[in-house]
Every structure is written in C-alpha cells, then in structure tokens.
Structure 1
C-alpha cells in the first residue's frame, strides 16, 4: 500500500468525494441487503438507490458542504487519489441561527459534533484508512471540547456498526426511515468526565 496522507478538502474535490461516497455506499447497501428485504427475483443492485441519477445531486451537495464554515471534510489520499473521507458538521454556536434543513439541527442545542460521513472506497477497505480518518476525527472532537459526538448509521450496515461500537459509540434511540423499510440508527459518543 502507498503512503496515505490526510488533508482538508476544498470545493474542487466534490467529484472525487462523490465517487468515493457512491462506491462505498453501493458496496455496503449490497452487502447489507438480506433476502427478506429483497423482493423475490430482484438482485441487490436494483434495490440500491440509482447512483447514476444521484451522482450530479451528490456532487452539488458535497460542493456546497465543502464551501461552508460549519462543515469539515478531511480526505485520505494515496497515490494521488482520494481513498476515503470524513464529513463533520460543527454545531452552530448558541447565538447562530441553524438552517431548518440542517442534519445536525437537534445537536446544536447540545453542542454535539455530528459525524455525517466516514467513507472509504471499497477497493481500499481493510487497509486501516477508515481507522486513520476516524482517529483524526476523534482527535478534532477532543480538541474542540465537545461533550458529545453523534452519527447516524444504516441499520443493515453491520460493518460500520461494529466499527463504531468498538470505539465506544452507543445506540442513542434515534431512528429515522431509510429505504426499503430499513432505518438509520442514531449513535452517540460521550466524553467521559475526568476521574
């Protein structure tokens, strides 16, 4: 494996971010689709969202997030390509107004950092890239003094759920609908008070 470096992402990385996002998402959707969720005779790939249609939409979404001060995107680069990234939404300060469509709106009142995404291209899974990105996220979380961090994970993404659980994340009871009768589950990481 080549040397992997982390760096902040800029708006011109939106296409690469979208490619990694859709590849990783497609892989975990395919891996997580149990036969009970798949209609009879339908292949897992057809149950996933249409990535071709969504590509342009996601590119614009990521470009807009990459240009905002309340979003931090960090990329893992190796061999000149983006291998994975994290997207973190920083809560608004109590005096700032939170946009109504804000995914972390509920977190702002509690001053929680929201880990919106941690994606690694499936061609680079099991090489430590996710851990490298996660460790950088956790270091930033600790340095920022946030009492909590939150994330949402697809209920059938067992790989991601194990990854976060091993790092101390707990289910927090939040549930929101996903596709095909599945859910996104909320998880929380709390700072332990000093002993």
Structure 2
C-alpha cells in the first residue's frame, strides 16, 4: 500500500471507496478535453467501473488532493494476461483546471515509486490518438511506443511502454 505523500499543499494517497463519485466526475472532465464532439455514450457505467477498480485487492487507485479536493487520479494493476513484472496504467487524469501545475508529474512519480516497490520492471498504457497533450506528457516522462503492440488499423489508441527502473 502506498504511503501518503504530503507537501504543504498536496497529498497523494489511495482513493477511498466513498470518493468514487468524485473520481467519476474528474474522469469525465478530463476525458471531455479530447473528444471534440462530446464524450461517447458507450453504455459504460463509470461509477460501477471506478467502484470496482477501487475495491480490487490487486489494483491501485491513487489520487492527488489539493485543498481538500481531488485533482488527479491514477489506476493501475497487473493484468491477468501480463507478466508478473508488468503493470498497466489503466487511467491517469488531472482535472483540466489544474493542468500545468505539476499535479501529473507528481502523480506519475508516485506511481513509479509504487511500481518499483512492487517489483515491476515495465509499465504499459494506451492513450487516445487524439489526446496530443497526454502523448506529449508521457513522452516527456520517458514513455515510448510499445514495439510489441503497434496500433491496429482503425484503432483510436496508441500503446506506450515505460521502463520502471529507468534503465
């Protein structure tokens, strides 16, 4: 379990089950920024999905709290089909009102610290092809296109890989 990371104005900690609705709202605000025609209505029950992610014993959901408000979140775990030393970053969002303030960088550092503590060597994720801001953010932090998972024709996601050990 991750230890709380505290600065004078910021805490990074594990999300509490009672915070699921706040997580859903932040998730929607962040995703809306890269869907120019609005969020797709694919029938996903995001409240149930986030409640499940928070409750999973094999998963981690971290949040960044500033002045009592959740402003960033990350969800990760090792998928069943992956090697034990691989972790997948399923969700990573910063409230758009807090972009450019170091929230994402601090949250990513907390994720990497947790991955190292858990013995992970590789992290993977997929990012929406239209989310150029996220792609640039991940590139700055050392994520590269995943050579083992190139995008398929018509897929709207790019697959990235990160060396947790930094080597």
Instruction: Calculate the TM-score normalised by the size of structure 1.
Output: 0.73
| Structure 2 partner of 1:64 | 52
Instruction: Calculate the TM-score normalised by the size of structure 2.
Output: 0.84
| Structure 2 partner of 1:25 | 31
1-structure distance, mates of 2:152, 2:48: 24
1:86 to 74, 77, 83: 74
RCO greater where, 1 or 2, for CA within 8 Å and sep 6 or more?
1
- 1:189 maps onto 2:159 in alignment: no
Q: Secondary structure at the match of 2:9?
A: coil
Q: Is the 8 A contact 2:124 2:160 kept in 1?
A: yes
| Structure 2 partner of 1:101 | none
2-structure distance, mates of 1:25, 1:105: 26
- 1:127 maps onto 2:114 in alignment: no
- Residue pairs, 1:1-195, within 5 angstroms: 3-30=9-36, 44-45=37-38, 48-50=39-41, 54=44, 57-89=45-77, 91=78, 104-107=79-82, 109=83, 111-173=85-147, 174=149, 175=151, 181-191=154-164
What is the CA-CA distance between 1:191 and the residue it aligns to? Answer: 4.4
Q: Which has a greater percent of helix?
A: 1
Bigger Rg, structure 1 or 2: 1
Q: Secondary structure at the match of 1:161?
A: helix
Instruction: Name structure 1 gaps, 5 residues minimum.
Output: 31-43, 92-103
